[in-house]
Amino acid sequence: NSTQPDAVKKQLEDVQNISGQLREERKKLKQAEAINSELLALVTEDYLKADLARQLENVSKPFKQLEEKAAKRIEQLNSTFASSQQFHQTSKDFQSWLAQKLQEQSTPLPISAKVDVLQQTLEEHSKLQTALKDHGEAYTTITGEGEMLLKSTEGAEKLALQGQLRALASNWEEVKKTSAEQGDQLQAALVRSRKYHDHAE
């Protein structure tokens, strides 16, 4: 089974084609049912009536099962397609956001000796902390969707999806950790700077 949007869409189209063929066959079955009813009205012997009913049942029962199976599969694939599309798009956007933050964090944090500059830098940093909190819910949703998709994925695609989720988790933790460390550094620098200015005065 594949959870790639294009592959799921192709499976969905295939099952919808089968469902369309079944609808055409259903028309023929209705004709057979009408003929069967006419024959039942003409036949007086019970054993012949039972035989006609059995013959129709032998055709209509498996046909009905096929229709139900196709309908269930279409419903299943529609759900997988929606989840798959949402997961691949949101995880892609989230990874881009994380990559941008990692890039920003790779530049050493400029720590000033001036209290007002440090306070301004801390304010900027608190915006990142708020953004991280806001993205926390999105991260939980994305990983939840990914775990759900893993259940219906096999082979190389499953390994790729597992790798994608691991990379996402690793980058997320790295951004959070670095952000917390930078916040601590700024707070410590602010304390030192205030002490220095107090002594200087």
Distance, in Å, from the CA atom of 45 to the CA atom of 49, rounded to the nearest integer, reads 6
Q: CA 176 to CA 128: how far, in whole Å?
A: 10
Query: What pLDDT, on the 0 to 100 scale, is given for residue 112?
Result: 74
What was the pLDDT predicted at 201?
A: 61
Of 35 and 80, more confident: 35
Query: How many other CB atoms sit within 10 Å of the CB of residue 40?
Result: 13
Provide the percentage of residues in the chain whose pLDDT is more than 70.
Answer: 97
Q: Report the C-alpha gap between 30 and 15 in whole angstroms.
A: 22
Instruction: Indicate the average pLDDT of the chain.
Output: 90
Element (H, E) at 72: helix 46-105
Q: What is the pLDDT of residue 64?
A: 95
Q: Say whether pLDDT at 141 is over 70.
A: yes
Mean pLDDT, residues 119-130:
87
Does residue 200 have a pLDDT over 80? no
What are the tokens at 181? 């460390």
Asked if residue 187 lies in contact with residue 122, where contact means CB atoms within 8 angstroms, the answer is: yes
Q: Can you name the CATH fold of 5-200?
A: Methane Monooxygenase Hydroxylase; Chain G, domain 1 (1.20.58)
* pLDDT (0 to 100) of residue 176: 94
4-18, 73-87, 121-135, 187-201, range with the lowest pLDDT: 187-201
pTM: 0.67
Neighbours of 70 (CB within 10 A): 19
Contact between 190 and 115 under an 8 Å Cβ cutoff? The reply is yes
What does the block give as tokens for 80? 């997988």
